[in-house]
Homo-oligomer: A and B are copies of this chain.
Amino acid sequence: MARKNLNIGLVGYGFMGRTHSNAFRQVNRFFDLEYQPVLKAVCARDGEKVKAFAAQWGFDSVETDWRTLVTRPDIDLIDIASPNDTHAEIAIAAAGVGKMVLCEKPLGRNVAEAERMVETVEKAGTANMAWYNYRRVPAVTLAKQLIDEGRLGRIFHYRAKFLQDWTISKDLPQGGAALWRLDVNVAGSGVTGDLLAHCIDTALWLNGPIDQVTAMTETFIKERKHNLTGKVEKVGIDDASAFLARFSNGSLATFEATRYARGHKALYTFEINGEHASILWDLHDLHRLQFFDHRDEGRLRGWRSLHITDGDHPYMKHWWVPGLQIGYEHTFIHQMADFLQGLSEGKPVAPSFREALATDYVTDAVLRSAASGRWEHVKKLV
Contacts and interface: CB of A to CB of B under 8 A. Distances in A.
A323 to B, nearest CB: 3
A28 to B, nearest CB: 7
A252 B323 contact: no
A353 B256 CA distance: 33
A327 B330 CA distance: 9
A85 to B, nearest CB: 21
Contacts of A329: 319-320, 326
B285 A285 contact: yes
Nearest to A280: B263
Nearest to A303: B305
Interface stretch (A76-84, A86-94, A307-315, A340-348): A307-315
Interface of A: 15, 19, 21-22, 25-26, 28-29, 56-57, 142, 156-157, 159, 161, 163-166, 168, 214-216, 218, 220, 240, 242-244, 246, 250, 252, 254, 256, 258, 260-267, 273-278, 283-289, 291-294, 296, 298-307, 309-310, 312-313, 319-330, 373-375
A291 B298 contact: no
A375 to B, nearest CB: 5
A312 B326 contact: no
Nearest to A168: B275
A157 B240 contact: yes
A28 B57 CA distance: 8
Nearest to A154: B220
A324 to B, nearest CB: 4
Contact of A260 (B273, B374, B375): B273
A285 B252 CA distance: 26
Nearest to A262: B278
Nearest to A322: B265
B323 A283 contact: yes
Given A261-B157, A278-B261, A321 B244 contact: no
B307 A302 contact: yes
A260 B286 CA distance: 26
A244 B15 contact: no
Contact of A156 (B166, B220, B330): B220
A46 to B, nearest CB: 18
A29 B15 contact: no
A301 to B, nearest CB: 7
A294 B301 CA distance: 15
Contacts of A264: 273, 278, 323
Contacts of A323: 164, 264-267, 283-284
Given A252-B216, A266-B322, A299-B312, A240 B305 contact: no
A141 B246 CA distance: 36
A76 B265 CA distance: 42
Contacts of A240: 156-157, 252
A12 B320 CA distance: 16
8 contacts: A159-B161, A159-B256, A165-B294, A168-B275, A254-B256, A263-B273, A291-B302, A373-B374
Contact of A328 (B22, B303, B325): B325
Contacts of A302: 289, 291, 304-307
Contacts of A267: 323
Contacts of A293: 300
A216 B216 contact: no
Given A299-B313, A320-B329, 9 more contacts: A157-B240, A164-B323, A214-B214, A262-B274, A284-B325, A285-B285, A304-B305, A326-B327, A327-B330
